[in-house]
Amino acid sequence: MKKRKMILLAIDFLAMVFLIWFDQFTKNTAVLYLKGKPDIPLLKDVLVLQYLENRGAAFGMLQNQKLFFLFTETVILLVIGFVMLRLPADKKYNLMHGMIVLVASGAVGNMIDRVVQDYVVDFIYFVLIDFPIFNVADIYVTCASAMFVFAVLFYYKEEDFAFLSVKRKEQKTPGGGKE
């Protein structure tokens, strides 16, 4: 593997470690200061810190389906690993590295909660729009998803995803031979 690729993978790994740590830190802080205590309004009638033990997915769907979530998160992480290993080291793909790091960090952050305590700690609540309570890992995944839609629509072209193809075309060297 080339040096630039190794450096990018190391940066990705370190970024994931930091983001997962930050997610777990915020959840532990929420447990410490919010569990069994009154909500903490940050912006009156807009944003509140409120403790919730979520045994489901977004919007409370699929309650108590721990094995399903662990299986799904494991598959997502395997796909992420496959993509990261195949992702070209070109600067054009730096945005893709960032999106992948965010999704992986969010998945691992919530997976840790499910494995350790059978639920995910959520604590951020937008009262203004009555949005379901969420956490920092959810923010990572949501931001990465929005970035991905934008990137696919306006930045990357279809051929920029050719690196995902399992079959690789033989490349010709300048002398007309094959690599």
Task: Give the residue from 46, 42, 24, 29 showing the smallest Cα distance to 120.
Answer: 24
Catalytic residue among 23, 122, 130, 160: 122
Query: Which conformational region is residue 176 in: left (phi greater than 0), alpha (psi within -120 to 50 degrees), or beta?
Result: left
Residue 118 annotated among the catalytic residues of the structure: no
- For 126, residues 6+ apart whose C-beta sits below 8 A from its C-beta are 46, 47
Catalytic residue among 12, 23, 113, 138: 138
DSSP string across 16-78: HHHHHHHHHHHHHHHHHHHTTS--EEEETTTEEEEEEEE-SSGGG-STT-HHHHHHHHHHHHH
- For 85, residues 6+ apart whose C-beta sits below 8 A from its C-beta are 9
Residue 138 annotated among the catalytic residues of the structure: yes
The number of angstroms, rounded, from the C-alpha of 16 to the middle of its chain's C-alpha atoms is: 9
State residue 78 phi and psi, 5-degree precision.
Answer: -65, -45
CB atoms within 10 A of CB 104: 27
Query: Which residues are tagged catalytic?
Result: 122, 138
